[in-house]
Amino acid sequence: MRAAVLAVLVSALLTGCRRQEPRAPESGAGSAPGQQQAASPTPAAPPGAVLFISADTRGYLGPCGCSENMRGGIGRAAFQVQQARQGGQPVLYIDGGNSLFGETHLKADQVPQEERKAKALADAFRTMGIAVRATGELDDTRGAAFRQGLGLPEIPTGGVKVLDAGTRKVGVVAAASGEALVKASQQAREQGADFVVGLLDQPLEAAQAAAALPGLAANLVVATHSASEFSAEENRLVRSDVPVVAVQSKGRSLLRVDLTYAPAKGPFTPQRSQGDVEREVTALEQRIALLDKEIALPGIDPKLKALKQGKRDELAARKQGFLSAPPAPAADVNGFALRFLPLESNLPSAPDTQALVKAYDADVGQLNLAWAKAHGQDCPLPEKGQAGFVGSAVCADCHPDATGVWERTKHHHAWETLEEVGKQHHLNCVGCHVTGWQKPGGVCRLDKVEGREDVGCESCHGPGSKHVDSPSPATIVGKPGQAVCVTCHNTENSPHFDFATYLPRILGPGHGGTGKSGQAGEPPAK
């Protein structure tokens, strides 16, 4: 027995030794007395440059945090750019536009928050050393004067900017149509650009058509404006003579372009010899996606969840290693390689950029609350014959059993989860954490939320005033369907939501179910 234990200990020690990084010899080690070993020079980076491209950020500083392992965050993006600058090659950060706001029109109560957020984004871009950016309709929500007042380096639509990138020049052009893109790309070549990036203020399909137009002198076309809020949930790459990309929206990914330079100038060729790396990354992403789904399962045992989260972080780190390593340069060829960098939850954030996000979070709640107190209007009364919201306390008078079930669900603590992170006055969040947001008889002022906190009975069953006056199955929504749930449990906030899986979590005796009430998979309350 002692021999077996000793064998295990020796094996563990040997394994630990194998994992250690090799140590450099100490000064003079292995040399004749009086001699000092020369330090090994740091290998020089191969000739080239790195481009980082963002687009369609839609006013997002970071993910909402409603689910585990959500991608995104301007702090994580900044870390990737700042880290690359330590590699010895020129690094250019380019923004494709449609980044400052998420909507083309704002309500009056949204203005303080959204303007403050746009300013925070602009400051974050500066910490990333932004070289140039295009603009789109989601940048002009508060007008061209507001946008220009942010002081960011911009290219006008149809314009050209040629940037130094070591021994080559990178041309960045912006356009709103394929024809304008052709013209601007030709102008970039005339101005000496060796590699041309075309930023097209259109969705992916229009960008594909533009890439096939005769006379296009771009090496890469980036579609910078998704068709709708939820139409850019994934990164997209269309390989063709001129590659076309669409970056995952809302700041959840970056596009990295690695340029490698041959001794002589010449045309750039896409590098497609990364098959092994791409296959490994794809396999890791599939495993990560499966773990994400398992981690998000309602009622999962906390210990099992922690184990799966640890494995998930390990796989994400491996994937990041593949994506961050520069590609091997092609001999005697000017090449470029395209890679998407998903900004996973386990990635670090740049401290200076993240400080800007924290400052925004601290300011915006106060701004919104002050606006509500000064200018807020109560919700209108329901029109004649229409139901209004009455609050969960009224429902409890006649439905004590259902109320008891609800009180043991996470819906009952929805407002509390916002208070814990200081976001109870953020307009992007509050609508899914109160009952009847912006509806007759509901909540229309952040300073008057009392009695409507949490995801209450009427969030699912509809406004209850008519049911209170005339209790009947005909005056209330008895069994709300999936369409009600996905107004908040959408692909962004709850990407792994499954109606059949989640529904039992809110059912119980007296509330549509016969089994144990409340959070399934957990011991009953004592």
Q: How far apart are CA 439 and CA 445, in angstroms?
A: 11
Tokens at 8, concatenated? 């295990």
* Greatest alpha-carbon span in the chain: 100
Q: What is the pLDDT of residue 2?
A: 41
| CATH label of the domain that carries residue 480 | 1.10.1130.10
* Confidence at 45, pLDDT banded by 50, 70, 90: low
Find the mean pLDDT for residues 34-49.
55
On whether the CB atoms of residues 299 and 521 are closer than 8 A, the answer is: yes
* Confidence at 491, pLDDT banded by 50, 70, 90: confident
Q: What is the pLDDT of residue 524?
A: 35
Q: What is the pLDDT of residue 28?
A: 34
* Confidence at 282, pLDDT banded by 50, 70, 90: confident
Same domain, 302 and 313: yes
Q: How far apart are CA 512 and CA 127, in angstroms?
A: 53
In our burial notation (b when 16+ CB lie closer than 10 A, e otherwise), range 165-203 reads beebbbbbbbbbebebbbbbbbbbeeeebbbbbbbbbbb
Same domain, 116 and 238: yes
Report if residue 518 sits inside a domain: no
Report if residue 25 sits inside a domain: no
Report if residue 38 sits inside a domain: no
Same domain, 68 and 167: yes
Q: What is the pLDDT of residue 140?
A: 97
Find the mean pLDDT for residues 312-322.
91
The larger pLDDT score, comparing residue 73 to residue 329, is at 73
Same domain, 279 and 331: no
Burial class (CB in 10 A: 0-12, 13-18, 19+), 405: buried
Burial class (CB in 10 A: 0-12, 13-18, 19+), 128: buried
Same domain, 217 and 312: no
> Highest mean pLDDT range out of 194-208, 272-286, 422-436?
194-208
Q: 55-90: per-residue pLDDT in tens?
A: 999 999 999 888 888 999 999 999 999 999 998 899
Host H or E run for residue 244: strand 244-246
Residue 421, pLDDT above cutoff 80? yes
Same domain, 69 and 187: yes
Angle, helices 111-127/351-375, rounded to nearest 10 degrees: 170
* Confidence at 322, pLDDT banded by 50, 70, 90: confident
Same domain, 316 and 387: no
Least confident of 22-36, 238-252, 419-433: 22-36
Same domain, 138 and 215: yes
Same domain, 85 and 191: yes
* Confidence at 278, pLDDT banded by 50, 70, 90: confident
Provide, rounded to the nearest whole percent, the portion of the chain with pLDDT above 90.
69
Q: What is the pLDDT of residue 281?
A: 87
Tokens at 196, concatenated? 């041309």
Q: What is the pLDDT of residue 299?
A: 85
Residue 308, pLDDT above cutoff 80? yes
Domain region containing 435: 378-506
Provide the sign of the torsion angle of the four alpha carbons 343, 349, 350, 354, taken in this order: positive
Q: What is the pLDDT of residue 64?
A: 87
Residue 329, pLDDT above cutoff 90? no
Domain count, the chain: 3
Same domain, 65 and 184: yes
Report if residue 23 sits inside a domain: no
Q: What is the pLDDT of residue 517?
A: 43
Report if residue 197 sits inside a domain: yes
Q: What is the pLDDT of residue 80?
A: 96
Host H or E run for residue 17: helix 2-19
Tokens at 62, concatenated? 């970071």
Q: 128-167: per-residue pLDDT in tens?
A: 999 999 999 999 999 999 999 999 999 999 999 999 999 9
Residue 32, pLDDT above cutoff 60? no
Do β-strands 168-175 and 160-165 pair in parallel, antiparallel, or remain unpaired?
antiparallel
Same domain, 189 and 111: yes
* Confidence at 523, pLDDT banded by 50, 70, 90: very low
Report if residue 30 sits inside a domain: no
Same domain, 259 and 304: no
Residue 10, pLDDT above cutoff 70? no
Report if residue 520 sits inside a domain: no
Report if residue 315 sits inside a domain: yes
Assign 84 to helix, strand or coil: helix
Residue 54, pLDDT above cutoff 70? yes
Q: What mean pLDDT is reported for the chain?
A: 87
Q: 94-114: per-residue pLDDT in tens?
A: 999 999 999 999 999 999 999
